[in-house]
Chain A
């Protein structure tokens, strides 16, 4: 295969790691060394406080990503790292939107919220702030709908994922 014909995609990784200082550095260096950008990153303690779960979304070619996964699994502090991009798993992300919203357009904005099952968390004379959870695609769609209003601020948690049923992530 000629150079430049690499398959670029967005990948969702789940890592089970030691809950210790420095672990995040070791992990991000595996990406940065290869010039790979991390699109989103979620780290939190698991049910066992000795371990953390990391969910990382990163874009790039699949071959480099496979190398990254192998190098991640090689780290002593990484119990396992896996790419869930092509598996049916539960995926969620939360976003807060703060949009320009005066009384004239409020009904329209709230209708959009309704359609996306978003919840109003703050309201002022000029703004509307809502929270919504769902897949990345749903949140992207909602962002498109809000753009004409003027998005003042947007914050996303990054994707979290979990295997379905009894399967361990």
Chain B
């Protein structure tokens, strides 16, 4: 029987459907018209964004909220270059994504054709892998390989550069099995860890007097929560988590001390300073949590579980490195565990928690922390919380506890301002019917706020909380603490009226200006479900995030409250 011929674009869309893709996030252009044409007749929903950066962050939010590989479709040239920030964000935070970029016809490659960019060349450093399609016959294999690479091992973004003549070409597509003949001899997906190393780690965990488990994003990605819980409870080991590890082990669990690092809780950092063993599960010892590498837990035994061999000994040298999938490795470790006596240690970190709590003033001006604490209470800790980047992000990390890894979405590694709103849109699309809260600052929000239209059209009931201090607050904080209050480039004079802005997009707008308003306004916003709403929280302009460990300093140099004396400029980091 003769196989029917279809265009490359039709085959592409058929494969996306086979791969279980529900949404395509994107914006069209000349070189992608054949693909957008193919979408007209297919059962796949296009989310038209207002900017390509919005599309990539939406895909990112969708992927993190669901664990599925998300798809972006943009045009060549500027369409493709607008994805670069989103690609970096996804690569740094290991998010599975396939980004399809239109490209000038193959015959024009390199001739400076209209909207031509060397997309492959520009994006090599920000993708897990990429393809430039030159032969229509390769299309099925390339698209399927892209999904395989994006979603396996350490996930990441995979880019397909698709020249217009390839998407317009006719080809025979043989269905599901066509193109499954992957040839990837340089790609290995680690699963089980080395038995001997796991045995050693289990023994060290049992022998330690003051052990600590550090939970990172890898634990979320590999769905390691049940194994992690079994290990922590069997061994009675206190837990700290990274910004992106939030929720893999419930933050409301009595053994969880919350986030460590630069703006982590004082009790988490004190536990890190005093521990005699620290085991990282899927964290890459980022500079934001470790401070000074050479002064990080110098006396503690270090165990590192990671799926990426390049992370072992990259910055912190470890005593036991285990390469494998976090869930599988923990399952291998569980039967080998023999609990030691950690009762005194658990008591001691409990005392840290009581002696050094997070605190702020509830009276006087409106405080961002207060808004978040009330929001957390109103959501009963069940909302999917998506943040932007800056002070509000750190306060959210401190006050919006997560009990499930997929309920906390934030740009960690890249620290991409503008991530919050589009990522929340992606998360809400992936998790309809669940409460989604976007907590953004007035700075980052304005970088991608055009996506209010996207959220409005889809009638997504997202609560967008703008923590509005009229400043680029995190930089202002540094200038305040370390640069003699010489403020430079941080005043956001000229902010729009965010309530009116929301209304102009047809959205509901609320405003909070006094602590007494918080509960009432937030409740009204939570009860409004006809579409997105924006809550403009006019907070104290000069607030700083505490605790803070100055960049490049050791954790023991943590500052708990506004200092009375002048501080030196941080020298060791950004």
The residue on A at minimum CB distance from B154 is: A74
Q: Out of A18, A25, A29, which one reaches B186, CB within 8 Å?
A: A18
Interface residue? B185 (CB, 8 A) = yes
**Which residues from chain A contact B310 at a C-beta distance below 8 Å?**
67, 70-71, 73-74
**Which residues from chain A contact B120 at a C-beta distance below 8 Å?**
22, 25
A61-97 near B? 1/0 per residue, CB < 8 Å: 0000011001101111111100000000000000000
Interface contact tally, CB-CB below 8 A? 41
B376-417 near A? 1/0 per residue, CB < 8 Å: 000000000000000000000000000000000000000000
Interface contact A76-B187, CB-CB below 8 Å: yes
Expressed in whole angstroms, the Cα–Cα distance for A148 and B125 within the complex equals 46
Known: A22-B120, A70-B310. A76 touches B132 (CB 8 A): no
Interface contact A70-B309, CB-CB below 8 Å: yes
**Which residues from chain A contact B132 at a C-beta distance below 8 Å?**
21-22
- Minimum C-beta distance from A67 to chain B (A): 6
Interface residue? B129 (CB, 8 A) = yes
Interface contact B185-A79, CB-CB below 8 Å: yes
Majority-rule SS of A interface residues: mixed
Interface contact A29-B124, CB-CB below 8 Å: yes
**Which residues from chain B contact A25 at a C-beta distance below 8 Å?**
120-121, 124
- For chain B residues 306-361, which have a beta carbon within 8 Å of chain A? 308-310, 313-314
Expressed in whole angstroms, the Cα–Cα distance for A84 and B314 within the complex equals 21
- Minimum C-beta distance from A19 to chain B (A): 12
The residue on B at minimum CB distance from A3 is: B294
Q: Out of B124, B187, B314, which one reaches A22, CB within 8 Å?
A: B124
**Which residues from chain B contact A66 at a C-beta distance below 8 Å?**
313
- Minimum C-beta distance from A46 to chain B (A): 13
**Which residues from chain A contact B187 at a C-beta distance below 8 Å?**
76
- Minimum C-beta distance from B269 to chain A (A): 25
- Residues of A at under 8 Å CB distance from B? 17-18, 21-22, 25-26, 29, 33, 50, 66-67, 70-71, 73-80
Interface residue? B184 (CB, 8 A) = yes
B180-213 near A? 1/0 per residue, CB < 8 Å: 0001111100000000000000000000000000
Q: Out of A33, A67, A70, A73, which one reaches B125, CB within 8 Å?
A: A33
**Which residues from chain B contact A77 at a C-beta distance below 8 Å?**
129, 186
Interface contact B308-A76, CB-CB below 8 Å: no
Interface contact B149-A76, CB-CB below 8 Å: yes
The residue on A at minimum CB distance from B188 is: A73
Question: How many residues in B have their beta carbons less than 8 Å from beta carbons of A?
Answer: 19
**Which residues from chain B contact A70 at a C-beta distance below 8 Å?**
309-310, 314
The residue on B at minimum CB distance from A70 is: B310
**Which residues from chain A contact B125 at a C-beta distance below 8 Å?**
29, 33
Known: A22-B132, A73-B310. A78 touches B186 (CB 8 A): yes
The residue on B at minimum CB distance from A33 is: B125
- Residues of B at under 8 Å CB distance from A? 120-121, 124-125, 128-130, 132, 149, 183-187, 308-310, 313-314
Provide 28 A-B residue pairs closer than 8 Å at the C-beta atoms, listed in order of the A residue.
A18-B186, A21-B132, A22-B120, A22-B124, A22-B130, A25-B120, A25-B121, A26-B124, A29-B124, A29-B125, A66-B313, A67-B310, A67-B314, A70-B310, A70-B314, A73-B310, A74-B308, A74-B309, A74-B310, A75-B186, A76-B128, A76-B129, A76-B149, A76-B184, A76-B186, A76-B187, A78-B186, A80-B186
Expressed in whole angstroms, the Cα–Cα distance for A23 and B273 within the complex equals 44
**Additional A-B contact list (6), CB under 8 Å, known A22-B124, A76-B129:** A22-B130, A25-B124, A71-B310, A74-B309, A76-B184, A77-B186
Task: Report, nearest first, the 9 A-B pairs whose CB atoms are least far apart.
Answer: A70-B310, A76-B129, A79-B186, A76-B187, A78-B186, A74-B310, A79-B185, A26-B124, A76-B186
The residue on B at minimum CB distance from A76 is: B129
**Which residues from chain A contact B185 at a C-beta distance below 8 Å?**
79
Expressed in whole angstroms, the Cα–Cα distance for A18 and B125 within the complex equals 18
The residue on A at minimum CB distance from B130 is: A22
Q: Out of B121, B124, B186, which one reaches A17, CB within 8 Å?
A: B186
Expressed in whole angstroms, the Cα–Cα distance for A148 and B64 within the complex equals 67
Expressed in whole angstroms, the Cα–Cα distance for A25 and B132 within the complex equals 14
- Minimum C-beta distance from B101 to chain A (A): 15
Q: Which one of B185, B186, B309 has the greatest number of beta carbons of chain A within 10 Å?
A: B186
Expressed in whole angstroms, the Cα–Cα distance for A60 and B34 within the complex equals 49
**Which residues from chain A contact B124 at a C-beta distance below 8 Å?**
22, 25-26, 29
The residue on A at minimum CB distance from B125 is: A29
- Minimum C-beta distance from A106 to chain B (A): 49
**Which residues from chain A contact B128 at a C-beta distance below 8 Å?**
76
- Minimum C-beta distance from B205 to chain A (A): 26
- Minimum C-beta distance from A30 to chain B (A): 9
**Which residues from chain B contact A18 at a C-beta distance below 8 Å?**
186
- Minimum C-beta distance from B128 to chain A (A): 8
Expressed in whole angstroms, the Cα–Cα distance for A71 and B187 within the complex equals 13
Expressed in whole angstroms, the Cα–Cα distance for A75 and B132 within the complex equals 16
The residue on B at minimum CB distance from A21 is: B132
**Which residues from chain A contact B314 at a C-beta distance below 8 Å?**
67, 70
Expressed in whole angstroms, the Cα–Cα distance for A78 and B132 within the complex equals 17
**Which residues from chain B contact A29 at a C-beta distance below 8 Å?**
124-125
The residue on B at minimum CB distance from A66 is: B313
The residue on A at minimum CB distance from B134 is: A21
**Which residues from chain B contact A26 at a C-beta distance below 8 Å?**
124
Expressed in whole angstroms, the Cα–Cα distance for A75 and B158 within the complex equals 12
The residue on B at minimum CB distance from A50 is: B183
**Which residues from chain A contact B129 at a C-beta distance below 8 Å?**
76-77
**Which residues from chain A contact B121 at a C-beta distance below 8 Å?**
22, 25
Expressed in whole angstroms, the Cα–Cα distance for A22 and B183 within the complex equals 17
**Which residues from chain B contact A22 at a C-beta distance below 8 Å?**
120-121, 124, 130, 132
Interface contact B149-A73, CB-CB below 8 Å: no
Expressed in whole angstroms, the Cα–Cα distance for A88 and B124 within the complex equals 35
**Which residues from chain A contact B130 at a C-beta distance below 8 Å?**
22
- Minimum C-beta distance from A73 to chain B (A): 7
**Which residues from chain B contact A71 at a C-beta distance below 8 Å?**
310
**Which residues from chain B contact A76 at a C-beta distance below 8 Å?**
128-129, 149, 184, 186-187
- Minimum C-beta distance from B147 to chain A (A): 14
- Minimum C-beta distance from B530 to chain A (A): 46
- Minimum C-beta distance from A11 to chain B (A): 17
- Minimum C-beta distance from B62 to chain A (A): 24
Q: Which one of B185, B309, B313 has the greatest number of beta carbons of chain A within 10 Å?
A: B185
Expressed in whole angstroms, the Cα–Cα distance for A50 and B184 within the complex equals 11
- Minimum C-beta distance from B298 to chain A (A): 13
Interface contact A73-B184, CB-CB below 8 Å: no
- Minimum C-beta distance from B8 to chain A (A): 19
Expressed in whole angstroms, the Cα–Cα distance for A29 and B120 within the complex equals 13
The residue on A at minimum CB distance from B183 is: A50
The residue on A at minimum CB distance from B121 is: A25
